[in-house]
Amino acid sequence: MKKWNRFKLDILYYLSAIDLAITGYAFTVRYVVKHRRFPEKTQKYSREEILEEIRKIADEKKREEKKETSEGLELGEE
């Protein structure tokens, strides 16, 4: 790739990054002016959903451990 083409791509990349930062800043300022408070960062999942997933993972792990111990006892008896 020629140096000039690489330079143009770099400039486009940096301009898009700057544009993204300015857009985010502008919408934050707009929100603060409209609502008189900073926007809250929300979680992607609710607390209950996260706890439910943790319980499922814990149950699966317990079942695997029971299976491993029962297989170990069966092998030891033979």
Residue 58 — very low, low, confident or very high, per pLDDT cuts 50/70/90? very high
State the maximum Cα–Cα separation within the chain, in Å, rounded to a whole number.
Answer: 75
User: What three-state secondary structure class fits 58?
Assistant: helix
pTM score of the predicted model: 0.44
**41 within 8 A of 31, measured Cβ to Cβ:** no
Q: What percent of the chain has pLDDT above 70?
A: 90
Contacts (Cβ under 8 Å, ≥6 apart) of 6: none
Q: Which residue has the higher pLDDT, 41 or 52?
A: 52
**Is a pLDDT exceeding 90 seen at residue 76?**
no
Q: Which residue has the higher pLDDT, 73 or 10?
A: 10
- The candidate with the shortest Cα–Cα distance to 43, out of 31, 33, 53, is 53
Length of the chain: 78
**Is a pLDDT exceeding 80 seen at residue 2?**
yes
